[in-house]
Amino acid sequence: MSTPDAYRSHELSKRLGSVKVAELVQRAKTGESVRSLARELGVANSALTRMLREQGVQISKRKVSDEEAAAMARDYEAGRTMSELEKEYGLSHGAVLRSLHRSGVETRARAPRRRH
């Protein structure tokens, strides 16, 4: 009996078709992020990650270089927001936050959400 996860990733590859799956595998193997591919396709990161792993793609988190970490720390301390850094460096919120913490940066309090 197959698991629900296997079913969903199989359905994703079936829905995309073999040509698109082959293209995604190639793009992922050349270093394009799963996050950007998933956003482009309008699918969940987790579903695409499962499908790519089933196709033999090794998925690893992008490492933040020392230079990038230093630049992010400078930018953040100069007033840039977490959201701006995420977009500029193509990283998740968690990756930016971890990088700033490792660099010894104290993060600002989050702005309160506005109610509409």
Domain-located, residue 35: yes
Contact by Cβ (8 Å): 110, 101: no
The pLDDT score that the predictor gives to residue 72 is 96
> Are both 10 and 44 inside the same structural domain?
yes
* Residue 98 domain boundaries: 66-102
Answer yes or no: do 48 and 72 share one domain.
Answer: no
Confidence band, pLDDT 50/70/90 cuts, at residue 5 = very low
Residue 116 has which token pair? 């509409």
Q: How far is CA 54 from CA 11, 49, 80, in A?
A: 12, 9, 39
- 72: amino acid identity, one letter: M
Residue 26 lies in a domain: yes
Residue 116 pLDDT exceeds 80: no
Q: Answer yes or no: do 72 and 45 share one domain.
A: no
Whether residue 97 is contained in a domain is answered as yes
Q: What is the pLDDT of residue 91?
A: 83
Asked if the structure places residue 36 within a domain, the reply is: yes
User: Quick check: is 109 in a domain?
Assistant: no
The answer to whether residue 9 scores a pLDDT higher than 70 is: no
Q: What is the pLDDT of residues 20-79, one digit of tens each?
A: 999 999 999 887 888 889 989 999 988 999 999 999 999 877 788 999 999 999 999 999
Give the per-residue pLDDT at 27. Answer: 92
The answer to whether residue 107 is domain-embedded is no
Q: Mark whether 75 and 41 lie in a shared domain.
A: no
pLDDT at 6 over 50: no
Note whether residue 116 is domain-resident. Answer: no
pLDDT of residue 94: 86
pLDDT at 105: 95
Same domain, 14 and 36: yes
Q: What is the maximum alpha-carbon separation in the chain?
A: 55
| 14 and 47 housed in the same domain | yes
pLDDT at 82: 92
- Number of domains the chain contains: 2
